[in-house]
Amino acid sequence: MLMIGGCDSASTPPGGPEMMVYEAARKRMVRDQIAARGVKDDRVLAAMARVPRHEFMPASQRPLAYEDGPLPIGHGQTISQPYIVAFMTAALDPKPEDRVLEIGTGSGYQAAVLSGLVAEVFSIEIVEPLALRAKADLKRLGYGNVRVRVGDGALGWPEAAPFDAIIVTCAPERVPRTLVDQLKVGGRMIVPVGPTGGAQELYLLRKHPEGMETQAVLPVRFVPMVKDR
Ligand code: SAH
């Protein structure tokens, strides 16, 4: 490479060649795994194309960051398949003024995707080292409207309730009543429900003045929502 005065900016794009490779992989991911499977919300597709998924995983997993599957993030937990993240995000119908609660911060990736689509994200993770790492990664990458707390997500975040939307990324055996109570009228909740290791179904709930509307939208497999450790 020709270097003049120690500067090679003409040949190296901002962020370097590695970033370009990741960006191209991310575009393919959005096209082939997400849009092709029917997620149509342009804001969600743009968020999926923007958020650097590889930054939310251990270095050893980064080459696989834009592959079509879940990946281990340590402590026996996983970062969900990109399509599932996009599907759940779109199902929430996120609006710029929304305040959203997430249960199961994990890597922080889902929270980062939501960060650019809504006003505020509150995320709860029960495994402390995961919560601390996600918090640090979200801060390092500039996702300033995400707050992470260590705790049992089944209890929700009462001081910040009610929420416009709630996304649960671990599977309870039934929908926690406390979370339903922390949803605004007109609010949406997406939650995988079912026994550990058994058949789970992703449910989309809508809170109407006259009561809850519940719709099964996709068979899924998530890690269980645990109570305490
Ligand atoms: N949304 C994450 C993936 C979540 S994996 C991401 O984008 O990476 C599910 C997470 O839920 C795990 O990290 C697990 O520790 C957490 N979890 C399980 N039970 C929980 C509970 N009761 N409260 C909060 N988090 C819980």
Residue whose CA lies nearest to ligand 1 atom number 13: 106
Q: Which residue's alpha carbon is nearest to atom 10 within ligand 1?
A: 104
Spacing, Cα 77 to ligand 1 middle (Å): 7
Answer for the pair 194, 188: CB distance below 8 angstroms, yes or no. no
Give pTM, 2 decimals. Answer: 0.93
Give the CA diameter of the chain. Answer: 71
Query: pLDDT tens digits for 176-202?
Result: 999 999 999 999 999 999 988 789 999
| 14 C-alpha to ligand 1 centroid (Å) | 34
* Per-domain residue ranges of the chain: 69-220
C-beta of 79 in contact with ligand 1 (< 6 A): yes
The pLDDT tens digits of the residues spanning 74-100 come to 999 999 999 999 999 999 999 999 999
Q: Which entry of 11, 80, 107, 123 is annotated as an active-site residue?
A: 80
Residue by residue, DSSP assigns 115-175 as HTTSSEEEEEESSHHHHHHHHHHHHHTT-TTEEEEES-GGG--GGG--EEEEEE-SB-SS-
- 3-state DSSP assignment of residue 54: helix
Instruction: Provide the mean pLDDT of the chain.
Output: 93
- Both tokens assigned to 3: 């270097």
CATH of region 69-220, choose from 3.40.30.10, 3.40.50.150, 1.10.150.120, 3.40.1010.10: 3.40.50.150
Ligand 1 site, residue 110, Cβ cutoff 6 A: yes
| 80 given a catalytic annotation | yes
Sheet holding 120-125, edge to edge: 146-150, 120-125, 99-103, 163-168, 183-193, 200-208, 211-220
Q: Does ligand 1 lie within 6 Å of residue 176's CB atom?
A: no
Residues 47, 116: contact at Cβ < 8 Å? yes
